[in-house]
Amino acid sequence: MAPPWPYPRLIGHRGGGTLAPENTLAGLRLARRYGYTGVEFDVMLSGDGTPVLIHDDTLERTTDGHGRVVDRSDAELARLDAGSWHGPAYAGEPLPTFAQAGELCRVLGLWANVEIKPAPGHEAETGRRAALLARELWQGADLAPLLSSFSPVALAAAAQAAPQLPRGLLCGPVPDTWHADVQRLGCFSLHCDFRHVTPRLVDEAARRGVPLVCYTVNDPDEARRLLGLGVAAVITDRLDLLAPHGL
């Protein structure tokens, strides 16, 4: 039997997927308008140690800023435009803090898969700060956020800081040691690239009681196949094609 999964089965990637600038409040609002109740986004530390929403170590791809996120102060990051790259409709969209995103998720009724995305050399501190703030932001919520990361160091630090929050181990290709890694880190779930999912992996995860989450699934037929196979949830960039009422 598949392990229990108390969270949404469809999750918006980086907020609004490709339909809105990634890792922004606008993306979270768009996900809710499409009927989603679960989102995924990335959290990294600013130069002041504040958790902010961004995927890359550097600012160039998704903002009008330059350089490394970890080298920029909160004041510098707050002045950036994180929306114009996506289109003129989002010009001036700010780069949000994790606190702003968490508060909006609570208001909108969105559950969150928070990916801890540390800059090199900041793995433990990012895991610790993200976990502590997540615990504070979702205090009293019916569903706590799930913290995921590719970094074992960040996950271990998150576990020490907020052991009550569930965690997920991220990978691309799934290593043969995946279950030992999940156990060692005290993780609840395994998150992997959907292209590496096989019936054998789904069966093994179910047998071991580990929910399996897949990214990034943009084809409705593929999403149906994976969910029918027993995958716990899929993360998508195409919120319009995989809208909850249409899948």
Q: Which residues are known catalytic residues? A: 13, 55
Report the b/e string of 61-74 with b at 16+ CB within 10 A.
Answer: ebbebeeebbebee
pTM exceeding the 0.95 threshold for the entire prediction: yes
Architecture of domain 10-236: Alpha-Beta Barrel (3.20)
SS3 215: strand
Residue ranges of domains in the chain = 10-236
What pLDDT shows up at residue 208?
A: 95
What pLDDT shows up at residue 1?
A: 58
Return the closest-CA partner of residue 191 out of 181, 242, 200: 181
User: Over its length of 247 residues, how does the chain's per-residue pLDDT go in tens digits?
Assistant: 566 899 999 999 999 999 999 999 999 999 999 999 999 999 999 999 999 999 999 999 999 999 999 999 999 999 999 999 999 999 999 999 999 999 999 999 999 999 999 999 999 999 999 999 999 999 999 999 999 999 999 999 999 999 999 999 999 999 999 999 999 999 999 999 999 999 999 999 999 999 999 999 999 999 999 999 999 999 999 999 999 888 8
Return the closest-CA partner of residue 238 out of 14, 87, 12: 12
Cα atoms found within 13 Å of the Cα of residue 213, Cβ hemisphere only? 32
What pLDDT shows up at residue 245?
A: 81
Please state the length of the chain. Answer: 247
Helices (DSSP H) in 34-122: which residue ranges?
74-78, 98-108
Looking only at the bridges linking them, the beta strands covering 167-170 and 111-116 are unpaired
What pLDDT shows up at residue 2?
A: 60
